Amino acid sequence: MRIALFDYGAGNLHSLHKALERPGVTVTVERDPLAAIAADALVLPGVGAFQAATAALGAHGPAVCDAIRAGLPTLGICLGMQLLFDASDEGGGAGLGVVPGRVRRFDATRVPQIGWNPLVTADDPLLAASALAVPYYANSFVGAPTDDGCVVAWGEHEGDRFPAMVRVGACVGAQFHPEKSSTPGVSFVHAWVREARERTAARVATTGTADVASAAGETGGLADTTTDARPSRT
């Protein structure tokens, strides 16, 4: 399985790259959005600013959004999770729009939030598999979805409740940095890799190809599979 780590051109991706490395998995760093969505799974990292990330996507944002909605296993971390929303108060261009809503600034005195902060509520198989309860954050902005039904874990910073994790179909967004969250955080990444591998195998069995775009081309377009793709929670 090949995982594409999308590079906004903003910083060091070494720790995340290392966490993603597993037997039978090839991790490639891609600056071309179309090359990134041609992989079996996609990671949107948490390094950089919203405007720089949308600029890196350029005119290919809709294609990336379509691939994710069609079932491409995706993990968005910190900024990468925020990029899943429609837009951000941080400024910049349009987000991917996978999660309807807007990114807002923390309503708190201490901003950015930097450090360990326990999850207030958590209901997702990745969190259960990794026993990740106290993740590491480094953020000034948080997502505000129009429908809280996509939120599978909540956090709180100085009384400001925020989505710590969202899930839409095969797409997972984590406001925290799992790769910096000690052993449980790395276990979270490994659990996501296992989930992505299972989804890829299921897609190959159904369509004969792991390429979301190729499979969609046979039916004349990218189908939205977000409802059926969501796994049961434990």
The answer, yes or no, to whether residue 38 has pLDDT greater than 70, is: yes
- Which region among 124-133, 200-209, 219-228 has the lowest average model confidence (pLDDT)? 219-228
Give 145-199 pLDDT, tens digit per residue: 999 999 999 999 999 999 999 999 999 999 999 999 999 999 999 999 999 999 9
| Catalytic hit among 150, 157, 171, 179 | 179
Cα separation, 13 vs 90, whole angstroms: 22
Angle of the 61-69 helix axis to the 50-57 helix axis, nearest 10: 90
pLDDT 10s digits, 120-129: 999 999 999 9
Does 20 fall in a domain? yes
Q: What is the CATH number of the domain that holds 147?
A: 3.40.50.880
Residue 234 is predicted with a pLDDT of 31
Is 234 domain-assigned? no
- The single residue of 171, 177, 190, 195 carrying the catalytic annotation is 177
User: Which one is catalytic: 78, 150, 157, 190?
Assistant: 78
pTM of the model: 0.89
Q: Per-residue DSSP letters for 79-94?
A: HHHHTTEEEETT-SS-
Residue 193 inside a domain? The answer is yes
Our count of domains for the chain comes to 1
**Residue 208: burial class (beta carbons within 10 Å; 0-12, 13-18, 19+):** exposed
Q: Is residue 207 part of a domain?
A: yes
51-95 pLDDT tens trace: 999 999 999 999 999 999 999 999 999 999 999 999 999 988 899
The predicted-structure confidence for 93-106, as pLDDT tens digits, reads as follows 899 999 999 999 99
Active site residue 171: no
Residues spanned by the domain of 161: 2-229
* DSSP reduced 3-state for 8: coil
Answer yes or no: 78 catalytic.
Answer: yes
177 is catalytic: yes
- Is the predicted pLDDT of residue 116 greater than 50, yes or no? yes
Angle at 151 between CA 11 and CA 181, to 5 degrees: 40
